[in-house]
Structure formats: structure tokens, C-alpha cells
Amino acid sequence: MTDERDAVAPAADLSADATPEQLGARRQILNAAALLLRHRGYEATTTRAIASAVGIKGGSIYHHFPSKDAIVGEVVNEGVRVVYDAVVAALAALPADAGPRLRLETAIKAHLLSSLEHSDYTSASIRTFAFLPDAVRRECRAERRRYEDLWRGLVNELYCEGLIDSSISQDSVRLLLLGALNWAGEWYRTGRMDIDEISRDFAACVLHSK
Amino acid sequence: MTDERDAVAPAADLSADATPEQLGARRQILNAAALLLRHRGYEATTTRAIASAVGIKGGSIYHHFPSKDAIVGEVVNEGVRVVYDAVVAALAALPADAGPRLRLETAIKAHLLSSLEHSDYTSASIRTFAFLPDAVRRECRAERRRYEDLWRGLVNELYCEGLIDSSISQDSVRLLLLGALNWAGEWYRTGRMDIDEISRDFAACVLHSK
DNA sequence: TGGGTTACCTAACAAGCGCTAGGGAGAGAG
DNA sequence: CTCTCTCCCTAGCGCTTGTTAGGTAACCCA
């Protein structure tokens, strides 16, 4: 009956990048939950649907996790951590003399790649956060604030270099950027647009001097 | 048992701006549904919760609407129309010689006021769209495209006046702006920030020459 | 006075939810 | 060979979901 909705994707890409099917039941469950959360939201992601996506029966989920919210919490938390790590790693890979402009563009691209192409976790985290139960949401406040602070610093660099008009509040710039990035999941479709170009444009948009 | 969740707000502001309680059961139901959708999402907005919010019992909803999705569809559709009308009206109220810069700032402010302060419909529409059943989503594709086109034109004005570097794709600018605006519901809290200031900053952010 | 419509109710339906109790098959250790 | 542990199953709990059937008052128009 519900098989049509259960098969949300042709069983592909559940394992992110690793081995075919033996990466531990726990990881498989988290992967499946992330995929479902991303595409259907919190309430529609049922424990039975998660179980069936990894080839076990509903009740067996509880051998690996104590509750649905424990799974969701772990997915959402990991989603923030993944994008944080992606951005930090991308910035670290830059030459030491890279200017704020390149750093901004790099951070934008890392965020988009992480949330659009690489990670159901990040996408699930972004899309479902607003409607999560309070308990789950509280659980990852700290992680989210850490990511926010990363961008606070990034934006501050731009101001220090005089790349943004100082009459504009730094908060506004950060909210504009993060808003646009987090919303990208609503319009982006693989193959139809180039993330490199979008990143370049987004960065150029907020930088007033060349 | 679930009373705590049912009373999402102290019964306030259901009627947007009009009379106390006699605006027709149909309108009351839509108002309640919009409020619930905005704060809890699609699946968690039950027919019984909508009914109890307007003081009737679950089954009585079906005297006014044929199904839950009919209610949701109407709310989501109206949500797009409301913000469209708000932006068009705000632009029309501008003096004829207003420049693209003022027009952009005005459109931004109208969108934010509509989605953050005035309309549960708009907010519900923005936040829940991704997880709606396909049938409901299809129903308001046209309305959404119309709103998108409104911004396409607005952004194009900016290019025509040379206010944005022509090396940046117009699509990118529109997606950046609409993304930031649609995401505002995730961080905005009444009274903590000034919509006028945010609008000014957002507009200034994307305009390169003063 | 009476018939019909409008608006609501109660009660229930089949289905699905998160979750649990109890059991069974297989593997590894003593 | 047995004991234990891991992993999964079946069956079902109490509850909620969208929706429907049938009943009951109050009103409007004749």
C-alpha cells in the first residue's frame, strides 16, 4: 500500500560514499533516516519506514536505538557537524595568503556542496529543524550556534578589509547569506545549475568593491 | 493529554485584523489551520486540532471542507497570494519616480512584513511547502511562479539601471534574495529586530553602487 | 404550524503510529 | 555440549489519524 512512498529513491546513495552494504546496521539506519527526513519531514518519517529502508522490520529498530527521537536527534546533530567540518576543512585547504573574498566564496561553496550534494544529514537538518520536538531541537542548539559563530567570524573579516559598507549591520549580512544558503535546497536540482557559479555570484553579490 | 500542544498560542490573533469572532466558520477554520501549519507543519496539523482551535468537534470540519488537504491547499495558496498582493500594493503606493533602489527595499519590506508579522498564511506556505503532498503542491505551483516572476522583473530593473554588476547572473541575485527572505521566519522574533532596518540592509547588500 | 436547511454532535471505521514483550536462530566461548 | 550474547522476528499494546454515518437541535421560509 505504502510501498510507492517508501521507495523514495531507487535504493541509491544511502551509504554516502563508502562500502556497498556492510557499514553496520546503526549507520545504515541513520543514513536511511537522514534520507527520509530530508524528503518527507519529521512526522512522515516513521520508524517502520526507516526499518523497511534498511531491510528489517519495524520493531527491530529498537535493538539499535532507544527511540525515534534518538535517531532523529543524531541525524540532525550530525547534519550540522558535517557542514561545519566541510566549511572548516575547505577554508583550511586554502593557501595562507588567501583574501577574505576567496575565503567567503570557498565557505559558500563548501556549505552548498555539503547540503545539496554530499549529505542527506545536512539537508535533513536544515529542512526539518523548525518542526522538530523541542527536546530534539534543544539537543543541537550548541552545534548550530558554533556554526553560526563560524560565519560571524567570516563576515567580520569582510568588514575588517572594508569589503562591505560599514553602514550595513554585520548581522544582516550573515542572516542574508545563511538564509540564502539554507534555502538553496528548495530550488536546487542536481545538474541544472553549477554550484561553483552560484557560489561565485553569491559572494560577489555581497562584496561591494572588487 | 495533548492539550498543552493544542494551545499553541493563547487563542490570540486568529482573525488577522478583523472582527472578534463572527467572520464565518469557514474563515475561522482557515485561520486556525494557517496558524497550526505555520508552527507545527503539515503532518502535525490534525483535523481535530484545527476543529478544537475554532471550538467545534473533529467531525464537524467536514461540514465546511471536503478534506484536510482541501483546507491545507487553500491556506498555502492564499499564503502566496497574500504576499504577492502585499508586494504589488507596496510598489504601487510608491511615487511614480521612485528608483529601483527604493523599489527593491520596499518589496523586501513588504515581503518580510507579510510573512513575519501579518500573515500566518504566508508563513505557513513558506515553511511547509517542501513536505506537502504532491497533489497540494501542484495546486499552487502557478501562484508561486507568478510571485517568482514578480521578483524576476524587480531584479531585472536593477540590472537595467546598472545597480548590479552584470557579470553576476540575475537568477543568482533573485535566488539569493528570495532565499534570504523566505528563511527569515527561522530567525526572526517579534520585537527583537527592526524590519525596516533589515530591509534597508538587505537591499544595500546586493546594490553595488550608491 | 410545519418542512427543510444549516450547523453541529457522537460514535465509530480502518489504518497507522511509537513502542514493547517474548521468542528464536546463529555464532563464539567455556 | 551448553551458555550467553547479538540480532532480528512476530504479535500486539494503547493511542491517534482522516474520514463517515446517523442523529439532534436551532433556525428560515411557507
pLDDT tens-digit profile of A101-133?
999 999 999 999 999 988 899 999 999 999 999
Residue B1 or residue A58, greater confidence: A58
pTM of the model: 0.88
A111: CB within 7 A of chain D nucleic strand: no
With 90 as the cut, is the pLDDT of residue A84 above it?
yes
Q: Cα separation of A104 and A99, whole Å?
A: 9
Residue A88: per-residue pLDDT: 97
Q: Residue B158 in contact with residue B208, Cβ under 8 Å?
A: no
Residue B14: per-residue pLDDT: 32
B128: CB within 7 A of chain D nucleic strand: no
| Predicted confidence band of residue B208 (pLDDT cuts 50, 70, 90) | confident
Residue A206: per-residue pLDDT: 92
Compute the average pLDDT of residues B144-156.
96
Minimum-distance CB partner of B180 among A164, A179, A186: A179
Residue A192: per-residue pLDDT: 84
Q: Give the CA B90 to C1' D24 distance in Å.
A: 50
How far separated are the first and last CA of chain B, in Å rounded? Answer: 58
Residue B20: per-residue pLDDT: 38
- C-alpha distance from A32 to closest chain B C-alpha (Å): 17
Could you tell me the three cell numbers for B111?
A: 515581503
From the alpha carbon of A43, which nucleotide's C1' atom is closest?
C17
Over residues A132-190, the pLDDT tens digits come to 999 999 999 999 999 999 999 999 999 999 999 999 999 999 999 999 999 999 999 98
From the alpha carbon of B68, which nucleotide's C1' atom is closest?
D18
Residues of B in contact with A194 (CB under 8 A): none
Interchain CB distance below 8 Å, A180 and B184: no
